[in-house]
Amino acid sequence: MAVNRETNTQAPSTSSNGAEFPAPYLGRTVRLVGPHVNVDMNQSPHPKNARGELGKPLFNWYRNTVSHDQLTRVSAPNHFADRRHFLTNVINRSSNGKVNTERVAVDDPAAMARHIKAVALYMGADVVGIAKTHPSFLYAPGGGRYVQDGSAKDDFQRNSPEDLARNFPYIIQATTAWDYNKLQAHRHHIGDAAYHVSQMKGVMVLKALEGYIKELGYTALRGVVTPQAAGVAGGIGELGRNGLVINKNFGARIHMPDPILTDLPLVADEPVDIGVDDFCKICRKCANTCPTNSIPFGDKVVHNGVEKYKINWLTCYKLRPYVHEYWGSCLTCAAVCPFTKPNVWWHSLATWALHTCPYFARPALVGALKWIDDHFWGMTRTNRVRWLGYDSGVKPGDQACTVAGCTASHDGKGTANADGGTFGYYAPLKENTNRFVKRDA
Amino acid sequence: MAFRLGSLKLPRLGKTSRKDDPYWDFFINRPPADLANTVTEMIRNAPAGNVFPTKSELHTPEITSSHLKGMAEYFGAELVGVAKLDPNENLEGFPFAVICAVHADYDPRSAPGIGGQVPVQNGLFITFVLSAWIRELGFRATAAPDPDAEKFAARAGLGALNKDGRLVTPKFGANVHVANIIRTDLPLAPDG
């Protein structure tokens, strides 16, 4: 990212305005340490790719491919046969409503914070958090608003991040979780279904919440905030080695959609500690199973003034055109994460134990939990998942009947049920992807 | 927060009370000043897309029905049924109607607020994505509001009509919202 720090006068550094905006506490996994240049949304992966800067295969994957899978064609960005079938296009491209001139008075911000969270959950969100705005969470000025598969326009596009942070002190992040059982079929269209359908739902919930805030008489801006920063600062979770925000109930299987920046009086949440920092130091399951070696095995690094585990997004992204025929999103790092478990009591018990354990004893506890995870859930997920007409036991590209008890001959295409088995087909990618994605030194 | 015990969940325990929320009535009952602020309006105004040119290979109508219902349930439908349309109801050549319903804590007909319309919003999400999915399978499907939606729902076995003509279901009683009716020529096995 070639942003010249000296000429970029609008970009804040933590030292120059540290008095008004002290470096925010982001929990134990992320620290804002050095001078930070606000991220230009035009330099993020999808906009770069849309301009063709990442090469022909990725550009063609992004713009010119139609998925073989019917559900992917209605739920995934850019691989539809007809744009009108993708609900996110409908919702995020719609014109914005006006802010209600009759503003609802907020006497008690704490009551309003409770109300907004109750509203988000009532509309179908699974997790919701409120963060105090810090200029470093916002996209660089002048770059426009970033709403994936949509657009946003407002009267504050020319404002500096500091002005925005002064006028709009709160960020609301509401998100949906993916279905646990479907995610077990990662690198498969069933996993895609878990990922894409809940993402569409999350987009709808956030748009409805945005409209509701405007009806309350307050401004709600979209496409302004870096989602991961809002998620970590708002207590939705901690940032893992895989670059995903890890939640105490759902692990890594939650989305980080575009949050809402607002001037509605609220009370911000604090970052949480569920032991992700201690776990990621030891575990490395995601790094071991990543098909493109995009997840670091080493320690945290300081990238753009932020100390965190830095994944190689480019190599992660480059895999996609090569596997497009078989699945949409890889999701392996989310599926193998030991925090990604069903939302049940024994999972709550484990995260509670990590949360309450004193720091010095945590490595031992993590070692024990990791041993349990390796032995009961395995080094990677290879479960066979059957859902409707899908079956992850069928090798990608093969055709087989997936109906239980079906005895028809199907013109020699075979029946998947004949061979049985509890293992899914798990594409062995390490050997193949090394040809075009070299391991980071 | 519901008290989580898996299948042993106690329904009354931990049910959220709205009594200490001074804004809840505004959320449920206050009609929006600008309809462009509501997602329901966006989805209602969205045009239907094209039917995919190649028809997908389908199994028997019974299996297709079960897949369709599983898909609707995954999108959030709590009750799903398929009704066969009579020839006089079938002017555009759609032999089947798919009926999806969701629970409604507040009756959307008397609660015009964004919160009161949440069942409508969820219903529109289901019928939009489900009808788009049927069109991507290569079959025709339209999702439209229908004044006789509750009659179709009763015919598809979702429940029975009470003396006011409202749908009453075994699971939710009368607290149920019937979403748009999807009319389709996908070969299905009708219920009820």
Are A85 and B136 an interchain contact pair (Cβ–Cβ within 8 Å)?
A: yes
Set of chain A residues whose Cβ sits within 8 Å of the Cβ of B20: 111, 114
Alpha-carbon distance B145 to nearest alpha carbon in chain A (angstroms): 18
The Cα B132–Cα B147 span in angstroms is 22
Report how far apart the first and last C-alpha atoms of chain B are (Å, whole number). 37
pLDDT of residue A407: 62
H or E stretch at A351: helix A345-356
pLDDT of residue A9: 41
CA atoms within 13 A on the CB side of A56: 0
Q: What residues contact residue A348 under an 8 Å CB cut-off, 6+ apart?
A: A248, A249, B4
Percent of chain B at pLDDT exceeding 70: 92
Please give the average pLDDT of every successive group of 10 residues along chain A, which has 441 residues. Answer: 40 55 93 92 92 92 91 92 92 85 94 96 96 95 84 86 95 96 92 94 96 95 94 96 96 95 96 95 92 90 95 89 86 95 94 95 96 92 88 73 64 54 72 55 41
Query: Do A137 and A233 meet the contact criterion of CB atoms below 8 Å apart?
Result: yes
Are A204 and B121 an interchain contact pair (Cβ–Cβ within 8 Å)?
A: yes
Q: What is the pLDDT of residues B126-180, one digit of tens each?
A: 999 999 999 999 999 999 998 889 999 999 999 999 998 899 999 999 999 999 9
Q: Provide the ipTM.
A: 0.91
H or E stretch at A431: helix A430-433
H or E stretch at A338: none
Alpha-carbon distance A50 to nearest alpha carbon in chain B (angstroms): 24
Set of chain B residues whose Cβ sits within 8 Å of the Cβ of A195: none
H-helix segments, A168-244? 180-183, 189-216, 227-233
Are B50 and A73 an interchain contact pair (Cβ–Cβ within 8 Å)?
A: no
Q: What is the pLDDT of residues B15-48, one digit of tens each?
A: 567 888 999 999 999 999 999 999 999 999 999 8
Beta-strand (E) ranges in A20-140? 31-32, 127-132
pTM score, two decimals? Answer: 0.91
